[in-house]
Chain A
């Protein structure tokens, strides 16, 4: 167990809808990252939040957005869903400090299916 939880575990949406995925980080971790993993592929970095500010973004359009809250929780929002958004969405929490980067701990993921 990594101490990182995600909800919901599975979700079915239709094209054009909006979705919010949630993540609860390990207590004390100041950084959360979100990844998209298509079937049969490795995870792709979406973006990262550090102390509630976006701190880096991968090659994803603006309809992918996020929030990080002071209570170690975070959200990934996707607007105008497309069929290709069907994937496993993973969040990972870590501690980034002056001592350097630490291991990222992943949640179990939310599997999103867009019909």
Chain B
């Protein structure tokens, strides 16, 4: 079963605009990770935020985590056509190994 739910399911923006994707989850977590997937290929790790962190940056990416609301957001600033991909949040509940529970993803399209 999916723990996370991404919102929106699909997002279409113009190059240079910012893109924000949201993720909600149901159980307590050890950390939350965001991944990118191009055209049904392998997942590329973008950023990991631990449960005791509230915000993290990596290049054009900014991730926030609100454990009280069980939600996270991924902001991509100054988007590029190459950012077109599916984005998934994945939670690590910290039980029985480091299994990840994924949401169903947000399909981002950045138009040139």
Bound CA–CA A101/B103 (angstroms): 20
The 8 closest A-B pairs by CB, nearest first: A42-B102, A56-B96, A108-B42, A56-B97, A106-B43, A101-B98, A55-B97, A48-B97
B96: which of A55, A92, A102, A108 is its contact (CB, 8 Å)? A55
Collect the chain B residues with CB atoms within 8 Å of residue A88's CB: 40
Binary interface profile of A, 33-47, with partner B (CB < 8 Å = 1, else 0)? 101010111111100
Which chain B residue has the least Cβ–Cβ distance from A109? B42
Collect the chain A residues with CB atoms within 8 Å of residue B105's CB: 41-42
The stretch among B30-38, B63-71, B74-82 that forms the contact with chain A is B30-38
Interface residues on A, range: 20 to 34
Instruction: Flag whether A90 is at the interface (Cβ < 8 A).
Output: yes
Given contacts A101-B30, A101-B92, A103-B33, contact A43 B43 (CB under 8 A): yes
